Structure 1
């Protein structure tokens, strides 16, 4: 009897995980790469302007 209860709980958990997987929206690699490139450009611009390097601020 206990084994049936454990299997029912396991089945419910598996069904919940399946529903979560169905709703998952995969990231588009192109968007991720573009976001990384944009972030790197912004960081490089800040570095080059002296805002980040050694804690200096733009004067």
Structure 2
């Protein structure tokens, strides 16, 4: 399962699962909101967005 980081929105939705052998033992989802220095929802910085995107493409 992957995540979504829209360029114009401060939130990302992520789904995940834990496998036991070949079966899903646990699954879940969460939403993360990036906050700016004033504590308000703000655009995710490009550098952070790139790192998260790379992690989603290569789940080591």
TM over 0.5: no
- How does the TM-score come out when normalised to structure 2? 0.29
- How does the TM-score come out when normalised to structure 1? 0.30
**More strand, by proportion:** 2
- Larger relative contact order (Cα-Cα within 8 Å, sequence gap ≥ 6): 2
**More helix, by proportion:** 1
